[in-house]
Structure 1
Amino acid sequence: MSLSEEKLQRQYTMVDGLSIHDRRSTEALPEDAPIVILIHGLVVSSRYMMPTAELLAPVAHVYAPDLPGYGESDKPDYMLELPELADILCKWMDAVGIEKATMLGNSFGCQIIVEFAIRHPNRIERAVLQGPTMNPHARTFGQQLWQLILDSRYEDSSQAPIQAYDYWQAGLLRAVCTVQIALADRIEAKLPDVQVPTLVVRGEKDPLVPPYWAEEVVELLPQGQLAVIPGGGHTLNYSAPVELSRVTKAFLEATKSQMVTQEI
């Protein structure tokens, strides 16, 4: 799969003394076009979000930041916990001039979005949780590792070197600490406080997000709905971007009138 960045421009923004790298769309769109921020998953970067970002760029102002510690962004000596990641994401929005946005995340990115929605509820319009972790019924490193191994058969093989490079950039210690943060997060206790329309997207074959957990997520969300992508694995944003962008576009359109009503 090609990771062309022709439709997205790379930018660096200083936030709290840290240089934060992002990729953003440059297409001319109507003023009322939605803003969509793509949030990467565990230890990786915005690089693997590009297939979906490019497909959303014709209908939305797309931004895909590398959170501090990951990808091309600065690597602070300290670890940013979930609340700090949510807060610096909000400060980055201030710095680049985004007042409010829809957020789409994969895996651990969903945990960041949920934390953000609770801490900064006035800065998020909608959420798309693609493959939300962690399943509370399989919250051990061994279980998650085994499920990742099972998932590999449903992923595009070209994703592996991208992830390996991102892990190398983050470093072993940061990777281990990030896994610990993800496993410790009780997302199920936070979901009832996410007060925005939320689309949960699950790959049909995703072993990390089994059907019962996806349904539990939707039930816990005040405004949740579920979309299942046939044959898909855990990282639909890379391996099934056409399908993910299709359900995301439909969700954006379906909730557009609700956004207008809220603004009035």
Structure 2
Amino acid sequence: MSNHNIELISLSYHNYFIQGYMLGTGDKTIVLLHGGGVDSALISWKEVMLLLSDEYRVYTFDLLGYGKSDMPDAILSIPFYIDMLHSIMGQLKVDQCILSGLSLGGGIAIGYALKYPEKIEKLIPVGAWGLYSRMPFHRLCYWYVNSPVNLTAYQWLGKNKKRVRGNIAGNLIGDKSRITDDLVDQVYQLLQSPDSGKAFQSFQRYELGKKKVTTDILDEIHKLTMPVLFINGEKDPGVPVKYVREASKRVSGSKIHIMKGCKHWAQKERPEEYAEVVRGFIK
């Protein structure tokens, strides 16, 4: 699948470079936010961009610390990324959009919609961070993210492509036929960066407090006023469906779409299904 129609956009935040991407010329604007770990905008969203750009103007970008964007000398957190997103919206002259985010991007999207509701026409979190106040095995998670083992794990994973493929199959994509050699190569290349994992580690260290998460999105989520569609993989080990159902109960009029058999990278595993559901929700 070619990138040749995707326009590159240079963005910035506090003098840090952000690599942006745009496709389509529709009247409505969709903004897509990728996840944490070793993700990037085009790895998570390229197929979706190509599917939706026939009707909508679609933007995505590499969060600071990811992909081709700069690694900032800053503590990375939900509030940091919300402020960064607000700056980007201004640079792109986007007055209002449909906002969808995966995992870390889902937490940013929900937080942004709570702070700037007038900017969001509709909200679509996918396997979103922040739908529980405490992680499963929270004390163990707190120890892990603050230990040297956290970064070492990325180095170990990047040693060979077999490990990369196994990690994708274990956590991210349920249908192994969707784990292409090209996808494995892309993730493997990201893992070769000396900064691989550092942005997400900074985020985890800030957001995982000793007893609960620092930015408690779940406690505020009932304040969302725009139409909300929660999308989740049926077999997502990182964000189990029960947490999404509980979050949806707190948001008046919200909808849920569970993608059967999918894991955490649901929109990557079945982009056609994601695009069809989103089109229906927008219309």
Same fold at TM > 0.5: yes
Structure 1 equivalent of residue 179 of structure 2: 157
2:28 aligned residue (31, 34, 37): 34
Map residues 51-90 of structure 1 onto 2, 5 A cutoff: 51-90=47-86
Amino acid at match of 2:52: L
Once the two structures are TM-superposed, the CA of residue 91 in structure 1 deviates from its matched residue by: 0.8
Give the Cα–Cα distance (whole angstroms) in 1 for the partners of residues 95 and 282 of structure 2.
18
RMSD over aligned Cα atoms: 2.4
The yes-or-no answer on 1:97 pairing with 2:97 is no
Query: What is the CA-CA distance between 1:223 and the residue it aligns to?
Result: 3.4
Closer, same or farther: CA 79–210 of 1 in aligned 2, 3 Å: same
Match of 2:53, as an amino acid?
Answer: A
The secondary structure found in structure 1 opposite 2:7 is strand
2:239 to 199, 209, 212: 209
3-state secondary structure, aligned to 2:123: strand
Structure 1, unpaired ranges of 5+: 254-264
Report sequence identity in percent: 21
Q: Is the 8 A contact 1:19 1:74 kept in 2?
A: yes
Which residue is 1:225 aligned to? 255
Q: TM-score, normalized by length of structure 2?
A: 0.78
- Distance in 2 between residues matched to 1:124 and 1:58, nearest whole Å: 21
For residue 261 of structure 1, what is the aligned residue in structure 2?
none
The equivalent residue for 1:180 is 205
- Equivalent residue of 2:273, what SS? helix
Q: Which residue of 2 aligns with 1:262?
A: none
5+ unaligned residues in a row in structure 2: which ranges?
145-152, 154-166
Whether 1:11 aligns to 2:5 is no
Deviations for 1:109-158, whole angstroms, at most 9, x for unmatched residues?
Answer: 1100111112222211111111123453626437xx9x987434615323
Asked whether the 8 Å contact 2:232–2:244 carries over to 1, the reply is yes
Q: Is the 8 A contact 2:233 2:241 kept in 1?
A: no
Alpha-carbon offset, residue 207 of structure 1: 2.4
Could you tell me how far apart the structure 2 residues matched to 1:229 and 1:88 are? 30
TM-score (norm 1): 0.83
Aligned length: 244
Distance 1:100 1:151, change over 3 A: same
* Correspondence for 1:244: 274
